[in-house]
Structure 1
Amino acid sequence: MKRGLIVSSNFLERIADPASQFHRDYLAYRARQISWDELVARLPHVAMLGDSVCMGTYISSPWSTFWRAHTCRGNNWFLDTGSSRPGIRSVSKRLEQITPFVAIEYAGIGAMVDHERGRENFFRRILGTRNFSGQINQLLRAPRFPDLILISIGHNNVDWAWRCPPNELIVPERRLNYQCKEFRENYGRELRRVLRRAGRERHRVAVVVFGLINFELYFKGREAAERLRESNTSLYPHLETTYKYLLSFHPAYRRNLVRLASMVNEELRTMVEQLQRELSGNIQLRYSDALATADLSRAELLHPIDGWHASVEGHNVLAQAAFSDLGASLEFLGIQ
C-alpha cells in the first residue's frame, strides 16, 4: 500500500493569522520566497506505522477485501479524512485543534513485524501489504522526515497457532518463547533504523511505540459478538471468516494468544527502556500502554461485518486512548 499524505485542510487560513507560529512562513510563501512544498514541509509531520488495527477496514469476501486493501485511507483512530464514515474523532482531528500538520499513513492490512530479507506470503503480496521493514523503507525514503512517529504493529505476529507443529499446539511454551524472541529481534532491528535516521535530523523527533491491544478484553467483546450471531445469523456475517486469516482466534487457541501478546508487550517495554539510554538529545522514544489498556470488551466496539476489526465506536475508544498519552511527545516537540 502506498503511503497516504494528508495536509490539514484549512491550514493556509490558520497560518495567515498573525498569532500563528507559522505566520512568518505564510508571509514568505505569499512573497514567493518559498514554494508550496516548502511551506507544507515546515508544518509538523506525523507518521503512523502499523497493521489493520490502525485502519478503518474489515474482512469479507476475498474480492471485497482485496479492493479495500488497495483503496482504504483514513477513517480510523489515527487519521480521519472526513469522508464516508462519520463519528470517528481521530487523533488527527484532536491534533488539528492544536496545530495544522501533515499526517502520513503507512499502515497496511496484514502487516507484520518481519525480517527484511523474509518473503511475504501469497495473501500479503496480493493485498499489496508492506510489512514493518517495508513501511520503514518508505519512511526513510520520504523527503521530509516526520516530527512524530507512532508505531502500532505486531497483532498479526501473535497468531501462534499458524503453521504450528501439532505437538506444540498441545505444549506451546517453546513456540511462544521463540515467537516472542523473534518478534523482539525483528522489531528492535527495524526501530534502530528509524532512530539512526532521526539522530541525523536537525529537528526534534518523537517516537511512540504502542503496545498491542488488550486481547483479554478484546475477546470478551468477540465472545459477545459470537453469542449475538448464534441467536441471529444475519449478524456479523463474516465472523467465522476471521479464522482463515488468524487461526489463533479460534476459542481453543485464544488463551495462549493473550499470553503471547502480554509477553510481546513486556518485551517492547524493556526494549524501549534499553534504547532510551542510547539516544541523542533530539530524540524522544517512549513506550505507551494506551492501546494495551483500552477496553474493547463490548460487541458494539467490533465491526458489524467481521467482529474482528474495530467499529466506528471502537476506533473512537482507541483514538481517545492513544491521544491521551501523546502529551509528553507533543510537549517535547513544542506542539501545545
Structure 2
Amino acid sequence: MTDYKMFDLGDVVLQCKKTLRDVKLAYKTYGTLNAAKDNVIVYPTWYSGQHYENEWLIGAGMALDPAKYFIIIPNMLGNGLSTSASNCPAPYNASRFPDITAYDNVKCQHKLVTELFGIGKVALVTGWSMGALQTYHWGAMYPDMVERILPFMGSAKCSRHNHVFLEGAKAALLADVAFEDGWYTSPPTKGLRAFGRVYAGWGFSQAFYRHKLDMEVMGYASLEDFMVGFWEGLFLNRDANNLLTMLSTWQNGDISNNELFNGDFVKALGAIKAKAIVMPASTDLYFPPADNEFEVAHMPNATLQVVETHWGHFAGGPGTSPADIKVLDDALKGLLAS
C-alpha cells in the first residue's frame, strides 16, 4: 500500500538537453482544496527526503493545518518515488539517469498544481534545505502566482563552499569498489556509510557537538552510537544513484541559471514579488546567514529572520529540535496571516 499518488508528465525535455520519457511525479495532499482554490500551500521535499519526512511540520493547530489549507508535497525527481535512477527503465536507468535541476523540478511541480488541480494562486511555498531552493525557484519563476514564500535553512544558489562539501560526500561514495560506476547489483554499503560520516560533520553545528545534544537530547549512548545510528542509518536507506542525482541538483542550484534570467542572479532575486521571510539558522554550516542577507537585500518584499540555535542545519530538519520548530511555525503563522 502507498500513501501517495502519481501525476503523469509524459516526456520531459530537461535543462541538460536530454529527454526523460514517461516521467511521473509522486505527490501527496493534505486537507481540502476550497471552492475559491485560494488555500494552497506547496511544500517541496529536501535532499534524499520523501513526502512522509516532511509531515512533521503539518498538523492541527500548526501553521500548515490541513483543516485550513490544501497542502501539496511534491517529491523531487530522483528521490526514489518520483521518476529516479532507481526506478527508471533503460536506457536512462542507474548511472545513465540524466542531471536534474531545481528548475526542472519546479516546472514539473507547476504542471501538477495547474493542470491537475486547476490552481491559479498559491498562498505559500515553503521548504527546508533543497526544499528552500525549490521555494526560491517558485517565487522567481512564477511571481504572479506565488503570494508568499518562506525558505528555511537553504539558499537561492549553491555557494562555492557548499559545492566543495558535496564533492567530499560524493567522493566517499564513489570510492567504494562495490559502487561499480553506478551499475551495482547490491547497495555499496561501505560508500553509503562513509557518505553519512562525511555528512555528520556538517549537518549539525560545532555547538551541537560541544553541548553533546546527540546524547543529552537525542538519546544516543555515545558519539560513535550517533555516527552509526543516525548518520550511517540515514543513508543506508537511500539508493546511491538517487543520492548522486539529487547531489547534482543541489550543486547546480541557481535560480538565475535558466532562459528567464540568463545567469543574472540579482535580476532573478528581484523578480520574486512574493512576501517573503527568509529563515536561516545561526549555526548552519551549509547555508550561513550571510548568504541569505545578500538575497534578502535584492528581494523587493523580503525580511530576514535568523533562528538562534545550536542545531545547525537540522534546526529545520525532520522534527529534531522542538524549540526551533516553534520559531519556524510561528513565523509561518505570521506570514500566512499577513
In proportion to residue count, which structure has more helix? 1
Q: Is TM > 0.5 for Structure 1 vs Structure 2?
A: no
Which TM bucket (shorter chain)? 0.3 to 0.5
When normalised by structure 1's length, the TM-score is 0.44
Structure with higher RCO (Cα < 8 A, 6+ apart): 1
In proportion to residue count, which structure has more strand? 2
Larger Rg: 1
When normalised by structure 2's length, the TM-score is 0.43
